[in-house]
Amino acid sequence: MATVTTSSSRPYHVIIFGASGFTGQFVVEEVARTTGEGPESNLKWAVAGRSRKKLESVLDHVANTLETPELRCAVEVIVADVGHPESLAIMCKQAVIVLNCVGPYRFYGEPVVKACVENGAHYIDICGEPQFLEAVQLVFDKKARENGVYVIGSCGFDSIPADMGILYTREKFKGTLTAVESFLTVSTGPEGGCGHDATWQSAIYGFADAARLRSLRKQFKHKPLPELGAKIKRRGALFFCAEIDQYAVPFMGSDPSVVRRTQRYLCEEDQQCPVQYCAYAGVGGVCSVLKLLFSGFFFWLLVKCSLGRSLLTKFPAFFSLGLFSKAGPTQKQMEGTSFRMTFYGEGYTKGHDPSQGMPDGRITTEIRGAEPGYVVTPVVMVQAAMTFLNEPQSLPERGGVFTPGAAFGRTSLIRRLHRHGLKFTVTSQQGAS
C-alpha cells in the first residue's frame, strides 16, 4: 500500500469517524470487505465515534456478517466527540485519512475539518449539503494548502456519480464537450425504499437556509465561468422527459454545486473548457407528481418557521410521504433498489469551433448501480479513500479543499468504481467520425 509520504508514520491509514451511524456501519463493513482480500489487505484502520459501546457493537455486527470474528480484536476503537476538540485532535493525529460519517454536516462537520487540517490528517466525507461544502472551501482552503492536507467533500452518491460522470462523458466525447444534462432515476422493489433521517434533516435545514448559501457564494467573488458553445437548454420546474419516460424536476441535491466547482477548478488550474451542466431527477407518472406537489407544498410551508421545522424533523415518514424514515431502509428494501444516472451531452466534434454555430455532436452515457444511499455511498467513499492512498502521484500537487472531480480527475477512480459495481458506459455517440 503506497501512502501519502508526509503522513506515513501514522498508525492508521484510515479512521472511520461516526462508525456507529446508519451509514457509518456500512462504511465499516465496506472497509472490512475491501481489506479482507487483494492489494488493500495490509490497510491499517480503526473506528471512531462518541460511544465505545455502540462502536463495539458495530464491529460485532460486521464480524458476524462477514464471518470474520478476528475483527472484534483486530480493529481499534477510538472515542472522539465533535463537542470535545481535544478528542478530535487525538483522533486526527493517528490517521492518514479520516472518513467522516458524522452528519448533518452543517451541525457537526466544521470541528472535524478543523481538527484534520490542524493535525495533518486528510479528510473525506459523504456530505450532500452545498452550504457546508462551499463554506469549508471558503474557510479552510488556504490553511489546508499551507499544511499540505487534502479535504475532499461529497465523496458519496452525492456527488461522485454526477461529478465523475461529467468527466467520463467528456473523456469519451470525440471533440469538445460543452453541455450536459443528467437525469437520475431510482427504482425500488416491491418493498419500496427510503432514506435515513439524517439526510432528511440536512434537506430541511438546507432549504431553510437557502439565503445564507447565496450570500456565502458572493464572498468567493468568482468571475462567471466562460460559456463555450450553445447555451444549455433551460427547463421548467416540472416537465415530461421522453428520454426517461417520466416527469422530471430539477435535482435539489449537491450535484450542480459540486460539478460547477469542479468545472471552475479545471478551467482555472488546467485551462480546460468548462462544461455547462443541469441536473434533473425523474419523479414518475402523474400519481407521483401529485404526491410530490402535495408533500412539497407542506414542506415549503413548514420549513420557513422553527415550529414547522421541528414538526418536519419529528415526523419524517409522514411529511416526506415515506421517502425518509427514522429507522432508514430495511435490508430487503436496499436489495430491491437501484439507480441510473443518464448524461445527455452535446458539443463540437474535432475540427469544429465551439465559438461558431450550433453543436454538431451528441453523446449519451450512463452510470448504473445499486441502492444509492447506503450501498453505493459506502463503496464510493471507500474507493475514494483507496484511490487517495494508492495514487498520490495522480492527486493535485498541493493540498487544499477539493471536489471529487478536482481531486480524482487524473486517477483510476472511475475504473475502480466500475469494478465495484458502478457501471459507467457510453450508450450512444453521434456526429463524430
Ligand X SMILES: NC(=O)c1ccc[n+]([C@@H]2O[C@H](COP(=O)([O-])OP(=O)(O)OC[C@H]3O[C@@H](n4cnc5c(N)ncnc54)[C@H](OP(=O)(O)O)[C@@H]3O)[C@@H](O)[C@H]2O)c1
Contact positions vs ligand X (CB under 6 A): 18, 20-24, 49-51, 54, 81-83, 101-105, 108, 126, 128, 156-158, 196, 198-199, 202, 373, 377
What single string gives the DSSP state of each residue in 162-225? Answer: HHHHHHHHHHHSSEEEEEEEEEEEEE--TT---EEHHHHHHHHHHHHTHHHHHHHHHHH-PPPP
For the bound state, the minimum distance from the C-beta of residue 366 to ligand X, rounded and expressed in Å, comes to 18
For the bound state, the minimum distance from the C-beta of residue 40 to ligand X, rounded and expressed in Å, comes to 22
User: Looking at beta carbons only, is 21 or 347 nearer to ligand X?
Assistant: 21
User: Looking at beta carbons only, is 31 or 228 nearer to ligand X?
Assistant: 31
Which residue number is nearest to ligand X in terms of Cβ? Answer: 103
Q: CA–CA separation, 411 vs 403, rounded Å?
A: 14
User: Looking at beta carbons only, is 347 or 369 nearer to ligand X?
Assistant: 369
User: Looking at beta carbons only, is 85 or 392 nearer to ligand X?
Assistant: 85
User: Looking at beta carbons only, is 372 or 399 nearer to ligand X?
Assistant: 372
User: Looking at beta carbons only, is 104 or 229 nearer to ligand X?
Assistant: 104
For the bound state, the minimum distance from the C-beta of residue 255 to ligand X, rounded and expressed in Å, comes to 10
User: Looking at beta carbons only, is 120 or 195 nearer to ligand X?
Assistant: 195
Determine contact, residues 198/107, Cβ cutoff 8 Å.
no
Give the position of cell 483507496.
386
For the bound state, the minimum distance from the C-beta of residue 203 to ligand X, rounded and expressed in Å, comes to 8
For the bound state, the minimum distance from the C-beta of residue 356 to ligand X, rounded and expressed in Å, comes to 40
For the bound state, the minimum distance from the C-beta of residue 235 to ligand X, rounded and expressed in Å, comes to 24
Peptide bond into 104 cis (omega under 30): yes
Q: Which residues contact 424 (CB under 8 A, 6 or more apart)?
A: 164, 165, 168, 365, 366, 367, 414, 417, 418
- In the numeric block, which cell numbers belong to residue 299? 414542506
For the bound state, the minimum distance from the C-beta of residue 28 to ligand X, rounded and expressed in Å, comes to 10
User: Looking at beta carbons only, is 328 or 361 nearer to ligand X?
Assistant: 328
E-strand stretches of 18-137: 45-49, 76-79, 95-100, 122-125
For the bound state, the minimum distance from the C-beta of residue 9 to ligand X, rounded and expressed in Å, comes to 26
Distances (CA, A) of 55 to 28, 59, 61, 95, 281: 10, 6, 10, 17, 36
**DSSP H or E stretch at residue 279:** strand 276-284
Nearest in space to 54 (alpha carbons), one of 23, 88, 77, 83: 77
Q: CA–CA separation, 301 vs 308, rounded Å?
A: 8
Determine contact, residues 46/71, Cβ cutoff 8 Å.
no
Q: Which residues contact 5 (CB under 8 A, 6 or more apart)?
A: 392
Q: Which residues pair with 277 in a beta bridge?
A: 180
